[in-house]
Structure 1
Amino acid sequence: MTTNTIDVVSYCRVSSTGQGESGLGLEAQREYIARAAQQNGWNIVGEFVDVVSGKLAIEDRPEGAKALALCKQTKAKLVVAKLDRLSRSVHHIARLLDEAMDFKVATMPQADKFQLHLFAALAEQERTFIANRTKEALAALQKRADEGDVQSVEKIARRTAALELGRNDANRAKGNVAIQERAKLWLKSVRPHITECLHDNGSTLQQVADCLNGKGITTSRGGKWSSMQVKRVMENLALTFPSKQAAL
């Protein structure tokens, strides 16, 4: 029989309305908390769920503020499934710890204040690394798109559409259709110009690029053509030189 039962307030957070409505991630959080409560003798006196970004401090979230208020009222400890559900900012975590705000993390129930601070710092550092790698990957993707790679253009457009429309399945499907149609229309529009350039002294990729630039035909992003851009678009259009293989 447990003799040191403590009262806790369960707090869960998901980042989007879609996640909140579908329960994606929410049930897993509840399960983590329920299991930890059973194993550690915690008595759950309330539950609060926010659908907000982790960038907001918990006291600035509608349900987070209520959870903190209940903790103060009942002398209970706040409990979250994982540390990033409380906050993605090491500054927010540190401030809560400095203000003697006791909280528990279901996935590491025995962690003390020093360990929680350390885990928060490591998590923030990892997010910084991921953000930097993402920026580098997007820059490389943009470079390929600027060189005329249609697949890269589609990927960028798909990412933009997802941000503008939201990430539910219906909107992703609409965005994909729009992107594919846009790419097809652009390829269709540029095909006759490349074909004409191929038959007008276009014996190298650079000559075709010069021909297109001379006609005022721009790339998919409105820029000047290079030999690499011509190569990639010709591959997408399955176009070849009339006679011998072109060279860069």
Structure 2
Amino acid sequence: MTTTQAKTIDVVMYCRVSSQGQGESGLGLEAQREYIDRAAKQNGWNIVGEFVDVVSGKLAIEDRPEGKRALAACKELGAQLVVAKLDRLSRSVHHIARLMEQIEFKVATMPHAKTFELHLFAALAQQEREFIANRTKEALAALQARADEGDVESVEKIARRTEALKLGRSDENRAKGTQAIQERAKLWLKSVRPHITECLHDNGDTLQQVADCLNVKGVTTSRGGKWSAIQVSRVMKSLELQFPSKIGVL
């Protein structure tokens, strides 16, 4: 009686990083190779080639220098493409779907996933990224609005974020950037102070009444919009202003 042995599958290893220094995120080259080597040993894959790209994931794999070579090698050797994680191939569902029509590929972190499952994972991942991007954009817009209105904590948060995004800049330039943001907020607060003071003394018994007064006067917020009670509250706090007789309420 003979024992049927599982057929060995030839695979071409493909790794991608966005920059030469990438690695701390857990998606560095060594980490990707480790994922693939482990999966190959556990599933009987025979690695017959390796290709590495240092490019953005926004490019389709066939438009990347080494990606194009990896696809050609798969076709020439009759091998499947293998990546550590799905986003090393692409972050685009469209790119993933198009690649599925060209070759078979495997993902080391999901070695038994079928084509349909990989397509579903890619769609869910893209949806999550879009959701996070939109939420981040909204949060940054709100943070910038508070900073423009003179909120010190918001100014500092933006300065820290700017510094993190511009690590290549000198400390002097980062300090200048922070100072510019703070100066812009101070100038705007100075310009709006007399208008708020006038509204407070004229008919401002509540935050909403002050907001209505500013809107009637044609005074806009730092972003050129209409005032709300919450915006009035933030600016009054920054200017250390209070109602003449009592603290206003919404």
Give TM-score, length-normalised by structure 2.
Answer: 0.71
Q: Residue 189 of structure 1 corresponds to which residue in structure 2?
A: 187
Amino acid at match of 1:244: K
Number of corresponding residues: 235
Q: Among the aligned pairs, what percent are the same residue?
A: 49
In structure 1, C-alpha distance between the alignment counterparts of 2:198 and 2:222, rounded to whole Å: 22
- State yes or no: 1:33 paired with 2:32: no
SS of 1:200's partner is helix
In structure 1, C-alpha distance between the alignment counterparts of 2:227 and 2:84, rounded to whole Å: 52
Amino acid at match of 1:49: V
In structure 2, C-alpha distance between the alignment counterparts of 1:98 and 1:70, rounded to whole Å: 16
1:207 to 192, 207, 210: 210
Q: Residue 70 of structure 1 corresponds to which residue in structure 2?
A: 73
RMSD of aligned Cα (Å): 3.9
Amino acid at match of 1:22: Q
Q: How does 1:38-187 map to 2 (within 5 A)?
A: 38-99=41-102, 101-111=103-113, 115-132=114-131, 134-135=133-134, 138-139=137-138, 142=141, 148=149, 150=151, 167=165, 169-170=167-168, 177=175, 180-187=178-185
Change in Cα spacing, 1:184 to 1:64, as seen in structure 2 (3 Å) is same
Change in Cα spacing, 1:156 to 1:121, as seen in structure 2 (3 Å) is farther
Q: Which runs of 5+ in 2 are unaligned?
A: none
Shift of 1:197: 4.0
SS of 1:104's partner is strand
Change in Cα spacing, 1:96 to 1:127, as seen in structure 2 (3 Å) is closer
Q: Which moved more, 1:179-188 or 1:22-31?
A: 179-188
In structure 2, C-alpha distance between the alignment counterparts of 1:226 and 1:217, rounded to whole Å: 12
Q: Which moved more, 1:201-210 or 1:52-61?
A: 201-210
Contact in 2 for aligned 1:202/1:208 (Cα 8 Å): no
For 1:38-92, what per-residue CA distance to the aligned partner results, in whole angstroms no more than 9, with x for missing partners?
2233332322222333343211111100111222233332111122222333343
Q: Which runs of 5+ in 1 are unaligned?
A: none
For 1:187-225, what per-residue CA distance to the aligned partner results, in whole angstroms no more than 9, with x for missing partners?
3223444543455351424437735874x7543223344
Shift of 1:9: 1.5
Shift of 1:246: 2.4
In structure 1, C-alpha distance between the alignment counterparts of 2:229 and 2:57, rounded to whole Å: 45
In structure 2, C-alpha distance between the alignment counterparts of 1:137 and 1:94, rounded to whole Å: 28
Give TM-score, length-normalised by structure 1.
Answer: 0.72
In structure 2, C-alpha distance between the alignment counterparts of 1:85 and 1:23, rounded to whole Å: 13
SS of 1:120's partner is helix
- State yes or no: 1:232 paired with 2:230: no
In structure 1, C-alpha distance between the alignment counterparts of 2:174 and 2:234, rounded to whole Å: 21
In structure 1, C-alpha distance between the alignment counterparts of 2:39 and 2:79, rounded to whole Å: 15
Contact in 1 for aligned 2:150/2:185 (Cα 8 Å): no
SS of 1:30's partner is helix
Q: Residue 23 of structure 1 corresponds to which residue in structure 2?
A: 23
Contact in 2 for aligned 1:199/1:242 (Cα 8 Å): no
SS of 2:10's partner is strand
Q: Residue 222 of structure 1 corresponds to which residue in structure 2?
A: 224
Q: Which moved more, 1:42-51 or 1:63-72?
A: 42-51
In structure 1, C-alpha distance between the alignment counterparts of 2:171 and 2:216, rounded to whole Å: 35
